[in-house]
Amino acid sequence: MVPRLTDARKELRRAQIAEAAVRCFGRNGLERTSIADITAESGLSAGSIYAHYRNKAELVQAAARAVLIKRAKVLGDYAASDTPPGPDELLARLIAAIDPAEARVGVQTWGEATTDPAIRHIVVDMTERMRAMLHDCVTAWLVRVENHRPDGAGERAAPIAHQLMARYQAELLYTALRSPTEETAP
């Protein structure tokens, strides 16, 4: 009899698989990565992977969400601090935290989004979530550091958050393009 996985163990296993997928996508590309590649990278069986993800599209979604969760934690901490960083400092911190493999996966996902409606939905959703988190950080900075009134800070933060998002995406693209896939090869 096979022991059942607890919910916590299932989430750890899903995260392990998603992290392996990010590494494979970053090294081989979305199109050239197979489930067999992810199986080898994760050290798990194909059955285990399919028990957690139905297909590669779900893995792409999980990989995108895993990256967003990392950024959400950082941005949430910034927004909650007594003295949130200003836009320039916030952008500098986000750029410093860019992982080249994750940047390559992000850019590849953007490319796939132009032809695959399911991937497009993921990209649009993740982009809007990231922009909303940036908006929260900028709003907190405007209120707590710049002493703006809370009722007007959100409106003022919107174009700043939009610019931050665009600059962050530009840095992701720059990082992806200057980081050849050969650098992760053994």
Query: Domains, the chain, ranges and CATH?
Result: 7-184 (1.10.357.10)
Mind listing the pLDDT tens digit for each residue in 143-165?
999 999 999 999 999 999 999 99
Question: Do residues 181 and 28 touch, judged by C-beta distance below 8 A?
Answer: yes
27: Cβ contacts below 8 Å, ≥ 6 apart: 33, 101, 181, 184, 185
Structure tokens at 26: 């970053």
Model confidence, pTM: 0.79
**CB-facing half-sphere around the CA of 72: CA atoms within 13 A:** 12
* DSSP letters for 160-177: HHHHHHHHHHHHHHHHHH
Mind listing the pLDDT tens digit for each residue in 73-106?
888 888 888 899 999 999 999 999 888 888 888 8
